[in-house]
Structure 1
Amino acid sequence: MNVKEGREIATFAGGCFWCTEAVFLELKGVEKIVSGYTGGLIKNPSYSEICTGTTGHAEAIEITYDPKLLAFEDLLEVFFATHNPTTLNRQGADAGTQYRSEIFYHSEAQKKTAEHYIALIEKEQLYEDPIVTKISAAVIFYVAEEYHQNYYNQNSSQGYCQMVISPKLEKLRKYYKKLLKN
């Protein structure tokens, strides 16, 4: 992906990419989000292949952001606050390796920041169970099918969106006002 000068990329897998995309789209400094697949074994996977849980890919989002407006640490804070980093290969009713919690770093600085952030969360015992979020080097990111892009904003009245995504957005809006675009 070509990135404008002064911009950075962050790649997160936090369960269903519809959820993570909807949350991060609301943050100031976020210029673009692409939903897709990464960390797997086959080239150009499809959604139906990912859903089998056999490709090794995670549903993930690739965020282009302005680090002058939003620090990587802020992205990590929102990431950990809006999904469960203690459940292996599961987010709510979504189960399988494609729904794992993983940070795909694009630089040594991102890697060290993520490692430090997880260590801090564990030291503060913010969760009853241990963090299972993996930290891995970014690899090829495959863009998901068009109907997955900006999914929540185009389908917000759908049951899944109302039951799963809307509560995450409410939490974000309540606790992270300083990070929001509006």
Structure 2
Amino acid sequence: MAQEQAIIAGGCFWCTEAVFNDVVGVNEVESGYIGGSVPDPTYKAVCSGTTGHAEAIRVTFDPAVVSLPEVYDMFMGTHDPSQLNRQGNDVGTQYRSAIFPLDDAQRAEAEAAIARWNEGHPGSRAVTTIEGPAPWYPAEDYHQGYWEGEGQRNSYCLAVIPPKLMKLRKSFAAKVKT
């Protein structure tokens, strides 16, 4: 089985992680930090907004099951890419909407995904940035698999994640795990 990776940032990494854990063909989702100037950042430092990093996820997927354009379209379709440096109550550059392509082909796909979103949403404009290359820093262990563990009782996540999952199931039903 071939595997590819994509790195995306669209607000709280737990909320984005929950969406992609539900996608057929996605084998792993890792929360982390990317796009900043401080090596080995911590959650506390990133949340301060002073490191330049975004909370992001690294999605490992089988391109024979779910394509990179589909991954990017699901990303664009399950958060609000028209909000600058925020997603709902999460405010700051660490919550920006961004794609971090790993090569020129991914960069072209990211540009195409943003264009598709803009075409499908007259009157709105995605502020999603295409950034990188940049070093990836995995989040601390206690942040990994958050939605699947005991942490899912967090009231913030319980308020934010279900609407994202509903968007995924409505718009990308054929790609949702049963």
Q: Given the superposition, is the C-alpha separation of residues 42 and 8 from structure 1 closer, same or farther in structure 2, using an over 3 Å criterion?
A: same
2:132 to 128, 131, 137: 137
SS of equivalent residue, structure 2 residue 9: strand
Q: What's the C-alpha RMSD, in Å, of the aligned pairs? A: 1.3
Paired position in structure 2 for 1:167: 163
- My pick for the range that moved more, 109-118 or 91-100, is 109-118
Distance 2:157 2:117 in 1: 28
Q: Given the superposition, is the C-alpha separation of residues 51 and 64 from structure 1 closer, same or farther in structure 2, using an over 3 Å criterion?
A: same
Give the counterpart letter for 1:84 in structure 2: D
Using the size of structure 2 for normalisation, the TM-score is 0.94
Percent identical pairs in the alignment equals 46
Distance 2:142 2:159 in 1: 20
Count of residues in correspondence between the two structures: 177
Distance 1:158 1:85 in 2: 24
Gaps of 5+ in 2: none
Distance 1:35 1:180 in 2: 20
Paired position in structure 1 for 2:20: 24
2:76 to 80, 92, 103: 80
Alignment of 1:10-89 (within 5 A): 10-89=6-85
Distance 2:163 2:125 in 1: 24
Using the size of structure 1 for normalisation, the TM-score is 0.92
SS of equivalent residue, structure 2 residue 8: strand
Shift of 1:134: 0.4
Distance 1:101 1:144 in 2: 18
State the 4+ residue runs in structure 1 displaced beyond 4 angstroms: none
8 Å Cα contact 1:28/1:69 also seen in 2:
yes
SS of equivalent residue, structure 1 residue 40: coil
Gaps of 5+ in 1: none
Paired position in structure 1 for 2:147: 152
Task: Indicate yes or no: 2:123 matched with 1:128.
Answer: yes
Q: Deviations over 1:91-135 (max 9, x none)?
A: 0000000000000001211111111221232233x1533211001
Distance 1:88 1:11 in 2: 19
